[in-house]
Amino acid sequence: MKNLLYFALILLVFVSCKNDKSTVDVKTSPEIKPVVFEGMDSSIKPGDDFFNHVNKTWFENAVIADDQVGVGAYRFLNIPQQELLKNILEEVSQEEHTKGSIEQKVGDFYSSGMDTISINRRGIKPIQPILDRIDKISDVPSLLAFVATQMQSGDYSIMNPYISPDQEDSSINILHFAQTGLGLPDRDYYFAEDPSVQQIQEAYKTYLTRLFELVGDDNAKAQAEIVYNIETQLAKSHKTRVERRIIKENYHKMAVSDLQAKHTNIDWMSLLNTLDAKVDSLDIAQPAYYDAVNTMLASVSLDDWKLFLKANSIGSHDNILSKPFQDASFNYSKVLSGQSEQQPRAKQMVRRVDGQIGFALGQLYVKRYFNEDAKKRALDLVNNFQKVLEKRIDNLDWMSDSTKVKAIDKLYAINKKIGYPDVWRTYDVSISRDQFFENVVALRKDAYVYELKQLNKAPNRDEWYTTPSTVTAYYNPSLNEIVFPAGILQAPYFDLYADDAVNYGGIGMVIGHEFTHAFDDQGAQYDKNGNVTNWWTDDDYTKFKAKTEQIVEQYNQFTVLDSIHLKGALTVGENTADNGGIAIAFDAFKMTEQGQGTTKIGDFTPNQRFFLSVANIWRVKMRDEYLRNYVATDPHSPPIWRVNGPLMNFTPFYEAFNVQKGEANYRTEAERIKIW
């Protein structure tokens, strides 16, 4: 089953700052147009709440559209990207192109999804063959054969395989299996008694009921309850999100022969043969889950399992079927997100094209919209930040020299990817203008084959895990790489024409953040080659763990919506990176001409402008429902604490805004947490 919240389209308006050279009170070069910070509330002291000092007026005036879950920067900044992508898709879909060209594939895929008349006319027909196959399941072996066959079409039910480097030998890709099988956002949702969560439980049961009704099954409500009960049993075996952060406890490489003997009901050899996965060992990330599946294949009746598979199969395809199925999906997701209206079809299709064939679309996007100067400038920044972090590591008072050498060695081994891939991912698939359902399934199959080809081979160091147009950035510990797509190289994060304070507080914090991930609670367990191994002295690692525990305890105290506490153990990696990111970015800024000067722009000193930019890039307003689920499931802290949390630990911020004892976010020097 799927988590529908994460299929909700997040295309939100960004309203933050503008370039207005006329308001600048210093001389600047003709190329520089210093940003003017608007939407601030001077009645709020920086030391009480810097996030709202910078963003409160904007926040109060920002309107979340009915078809959105939030508004602002961060992940909601993707709306300009989506509009640009829509421009491309509408243009290429109206022209004829050579069969097999990227223009033909993305244009015809978009057109097929926009043909809602044909999609609605087909109704249940596209998925009927899958339902018929479920009806013919006669025993556990045929059930597992169905499960394995559907996985090759991107339809995952009780098995969740993926291919990635072996964490003990990152030079080779191996097969992994992770826990799965749930339709609610997290295992804890099945057991929580909070009224808001119970409302989500009921909405999900209503969704399941509606799916059965739409395919003409009798006793839909009772059938939905059976499916929900199976999921609840599976949920009991799931590790929590916090438990899944413990790297070594989520890796269990086993011989297939041993699994075959242990799980007599699963029959791993037949399963792997159907998947065409030629391996003699694999990693079971969460063994308790597959132990439970093995037991439940015998304890749960075959008829009940067939209902589970039917619900899962319909749910995996509901948004590519006719409108009643799409409505059922949305009616569940809106309870999770608070979004009251579905988004227009064009917006939904832009996201789907980007999600399923995004590197083909990405080539058109980069060619048309990306400024190559931004790539060069960003790479210069990244290279400079490496030097800054090296110096910070050298100056650590809690780390021994021997560990520092290895940390710096890892730092300079990081692979840097900026803008877009050097080698583009291709799609070996035929796309038709009049077969939307089949196009989606074909692309899912192609994705499976693409991944399978990497099994038992060295990792593809050219591969990206996000499309170039996406506003994001990431660090991958298995490959020891940082990635900054073209999408994030735009305001408010990056502006070729902004003063250095704005760029260092914006994209600079992001760069510092991603570098710090190489040394957060998880990243620190990987060596420079991506292997999970202990490269620390015992004493150093003990000190490091104590410092990260301080981060956990500090963020546990932070709240949103008055009483909902952040989960410090869930967000510790991102919080560590936020704290480190600001410190690294500020040090780098102080190496610039502006950072070493005192000239004000718009009544703000260079240091103040740096911190204003930090707050500006997290300028976000979310619906309460979305925020509540965000805190429960997301490893990032909410935007307000991505600003206030790190800054209350950072002495240069205190100095820049004269933060005094007695102000709400004041911490004594001894209380301010510093790791990297």
Bridge partners (DSSP) listed for residue 5: none
Better-predicted residue by pLDDT, 236 or 35: 236
pLDDT score of 17 more than 90: no
In the prediction, which pLDDT does 13 show? 28
Residue 34's pLDDT is what? 81
Backbone phi and psi for residue 369, each to the nearest 5 degrees, phi listed first: -120, -20
Give the mean model confidence (pLDDT) for residues 585-610: 97
CA–CA gap between residue 121 and residue 322 (Å, rounded): 7
Question: Phi-psi bin for 274: left (phi > 0), alpha (psi -120 to 50), beta?
Answer: alpha
pLDDT at 304 over 80: yes
33 pLDDT band (50/70/90 cuts)?
A: confident
pLDDT of residue 78: 80
pLDDT at position 108: 98
pLDDT exceeds cutoff 50 at 409:
yes
Q: Is pLDDT above 50 for 41?
A: yes
| Contact partners, residue 117, CB within 8 Å, separation at least 6 | none
Q: What's residue 3's pLDDT?
A: 41
Distance CA 425, CA 399 (A): 41
Q: pLDDT tens digit string along 113-129?
A: 999 999 999 999 999 99
Half-sphere exposure at residue 77, Cβ-oriented, CA atoms within 13 angstroms? 23
Whether residue 518 is predicted with pLDDT greater than 60 in this model: the reply is yes
Domains and CATH numbers, the chain: 139-321 (1.10.1380.10)
- Residues 370, 371, 376, 380, CA torsion sign: negative
Cα 143 from Cα 303, distance rounded (Å) = 11
In the prediction, which pLDDT does 79 show? 77
What pLDDT is stored for residue 81 in this prediction?
A: 83
Asked whether residue 206 carries a pLDDT value surpassing 50, the answer given is yes
Kindly tell me if the per-residue pLDDT of 608 is higher than 80. yes
Q: How far apart, in whole angstroms, are the C-alpha atoms of residue 307 and residue 528?
A: 47
Across 598-623, average pLDDT: 97
d(CA 291, CA 238): 11
Does the pLDDT at position 16 exceed 80? no
Banded model confidence at residue 1, pLDDT cuts 50, 70, 90: very low
pLDDT surpasses 60 at 510: yes
Residue 80 has pLDDT above 80, yes or no: no
Name the token pair of 22: 């006329």
* Residue 6, pLDDT above cutoff 70: no
pLDDT tens figures, 129-176: 999 999 999 999 999 999 999 999 999 999 999 999 999 999 999 999
Whether pLDDT at 4 is above 60: no
What's the pLDDT at 77? 84
Question: At a CB cut-off of 8 Å and minimum separation 6, what does 306 contact?
Answer: 134, 135, 137, 143
Report the distance separating Cα 240 and Cα 336, nearest Å.
19
pLDDT of residue 642 exceeding 60: yes
Mean pLDDT, rounded, for 650-656: 98
> CA-to-CA distance for 474 and 482, rounded, in angstroms?
6
Q: Is the pLDDT of residue 38 over 80?
A: yes
**Residues 472, 77: contact at Cβ < 8 Å?**
no
Q: What is the mean pLDDT of residues 194-207?
A: 97
CA distance 636 to 514: 13
Pairwise CA distance, residues 625 & 132, whole Å: 38
For residues 260-282, give the mean pLDDT. Answer: 97
Q: Can you give the pLDDT at residue 7?
A: 27
The percent of residues above 90 in pLDDT, for the chain, comes to 93
pLDDT at 212: 98
pLDDT at 594 over 90: yes
User: How many CB atoms lie under 10 A from the CB of residue 442?
Assistant: 20
Q: Mean pLDDT across the chain, nearest whole number?
A: 94
12, pLDDT greater than 90: no
d(CA 372, CA 363): 13
Residue 174 β-bridge partners: 164
User: What confidence score (pLDDT) does residue 230 get?
Assistant: 98
545-561 pLDDT tens trace: 999 999 999 999 999 99
Residue 18 has pLDDT above 60, yes or no: no
Q: Which two tokens stand for residue 648?
A: 């209350």
